[in-house]
Structures are given as C-alpha cells and as structure tokens.
Amino acid sequence: MGTINSQTDPAGHHQRASWLRRTGLAVSLSALLLGASCGRTVDEAATDRTTTTESEEGFVATSPPRELTTGEVDDDTISIVEEYRIDGDQLVANGDTPIPAGTQKAWDRFAGLFPAAGRPEIVLFVGIDQDESNGTDGALQVSALDDDKRYLALDVSGAVEFKELTRTMIHEYSHLLQFRPSALTPGTEDEFCDVYDGGEACPKPGSYLRLWSEAFYPEVTDGDDYPEEEADVEDRYSADEHVTDDYAATNPAEDMAETFAEWVLLNAPTGPKFVNEDPHYDAPVTGDRVVDEKLRFFDQFPELVALRTNIRDQLKLDQLAVPA
C-alpha cells in the first residue's frame, strides 16, 4: 500500500491538515492520510533531548529519549519522539517508563472522541515533534508491518496548541473512515478506479469516499492523476466550494476531511477557549452553495450523526438538531 505523504503521494502536508497527515499553519503545502511505516532512525537531535513545552492551555509534553523498535513507522518526514501500543482506550507504557502527562492528555482526548470500537485498525500511537516534522502535527498512516493496521501520529512536543490538535484529531479520523480496509476493494491498488482513490485501492460502492466523490467530484478518477502542486490548489480553491482555506482544495479526500471537521464543529465558538481561531460554520446549514451541500452531506449517515453527538459531548458543545 502506498505511503501518502508530502512530496510523493496524493495528499500531503498543508497549511492545515492531511489525509494521513495534517500540518501546522506555518507550513506550506506538502503531505496526506494513508501512509506506511517501518523502522526508522530518529536523528540525533531528536533522540538526545527531553522535550518539555507548555501551551496557553497548560498542555505539557515531557518526552524522554528512547529507542524506537516497533518497525511500524516508515516515514522519514516525521520526527518520532515516542511510540506506544494501544489496548482499547489505553496506551501501553514502555516497560517502567511512565507515559508523559502531555502525551497521555493527547491520547485521552482522542480516545474520548473516538472510542475503541470505532477504530480497531489503529494499533500504535506515535508521538511526534511538529517543529522537526516539517510542520506536521498529525497523521494516520498504514503500518509497515501490516497493511490492515494503522498508526496515529500526533504532536507531543507542545508546539501545537491543544485546541488545534483536537481539530486535527477529527480531521485524521475522517481519513480512517475513507481508507480503512473494509471501505476499499481488495486487489485494486494498481487498477483503474472510476472515482478518486487517493492512490490506494478503489473505494467500495456505498463507501463514504465513493459517495463523496460521486457527489462532488464526478469528473475525477484515479487519485494518482490528481494535480496537487501549490499553484493547482490555489487555482481550485473557492470559498463557495471549500471550507476554511485552500487546504480543502488539495484533493477530494482532504476536502472531505476538512469538511467533516467543520460539520462536527458547526456553531462552535472561536478563539482561545475552543478548538482553533478559525470561524466555524453556522447550523443549520441552509445555503445553496456547493460548500453548504458538502456540509449537509454527512447528515444522511446516522452513525456519523451519533459520532458527532459524542464528540460534541466530549468537547462540551451544544448538541445540534438532526435535519429531518
């Protein structure tokens, strides 16, 4: 299975988020969701230090140097600080070494938003350093040891404000919905696909990504052919068609992930008290722009409405009425 990352795969770093990858606001376009990973050597600068950072919300990450031996991460664009096996809603400590408080806080937030029953493919949590990872603050990628398994990478250095990291989690989970093995047609990785496939196997009939592609990108086939240079993205972006900023115009999968995050966060307050500084969209969504149609797309799936209810409960957001 191909790695979806910055320079080579159909998705990429960004000034906001990515298929398997989301990058910070200070970075220019470049990465994506379903990648592979195998044993990689962390550079000396990353392994010879302990990182402790505190954000305005008290998000502290203390990460002791440690040897990385799982062999699941094969992505030399991210700087790994630590790796932990996942057991249900818990991280498994490495021997007698305590899990740093900031890392535990990040994981607890993700596990609260997305309970174990809805993410059996995610078996490894990878703490990364955004500043040393070309601005990447999150990624969801394919294990180098098992194509049916995934690892979740999130910044634990403290460089990313916790409220922004929360939105990244929602974005990355959308990529799991798009590219989990059960949503793809086995054995079609190298075959023509009649809808956008992100360079992976062709989405199955009735899958979220296929329905999204058929509704909003009927002219797009085979993700490998989708142009994603920065100039292409800027030319495609329109506030009437895409949420937030031009990262949503990277490709259909990133558009869906960004729109999903904004659908979850409809009516969310802005500013330092919540997820990020971006203005969120108002509910109910009643407009007739393409972006309004995209925001209403997820209303048709009761399981996603239930997921949004849980996320908003965890974030202490008012619940939204379900459209008739």
- pLDDT tens digits, residue range 84-105? 999 999 999 998 889 999 999 9
Q: Does 279 lie in the same domain as 232? A: yes
Q: Would you say residue 293 lies in a domain?
A: yes
Q: Of 162, 189, 220, which residue is a domain's last?
A: 162
Select the highest-mean-pLDDT range: 27-41, 205-219, 241-255. Answer: 205-219
**Dist. CA 19–CA 1, nearest whole Å:** 14
Beta strands in the chain (DSSP E): 21-23, 51-54, 60-63, 80-87, 90-92, 122-128, 136-142, 150-155
| Separation between Cα atoms, residue 244 and residue 177, nearest integer Å | 21
Domain match, 134 and 195 both = no
**Looking at 162, 191, 220, which one is the last position of a domain?**
162
Residue 174 forms part of a structural domain? no
**Per-residue pLDDT reduced to its tens digit, 124-146:** 999 999 999 999 999 999 999 99
Query: Which of the given ranges, 66-70, 157-161, 223-227, 296-300, has the highest pLDDT on average?
Result: 296-300
Same domain (yes/no): 63, 33: yes
153 and 223 both lie in a single domain: no
pLDDT-derived band of residue 174, with 50, 70 and 90 as boundaries?
very high
Domain count, the chain: 2
Q: Structure pTM?
A: 0.81
30 is in which domain, residue-wise? 21-162
* pLDDT at residue 271 in the model: 56
pLDDT digits (tens, 9 = 90+) for 74-87: 898 999 999 999 99
Tokens of 113: 């938003």
- Chain-wide mean pLDDT for the chain? 81
Q: What whole-number distance in Å separates Cα of residue 94 and Cα of residue 96? A: 6
148: pLDDT strictly greater than 70: yes
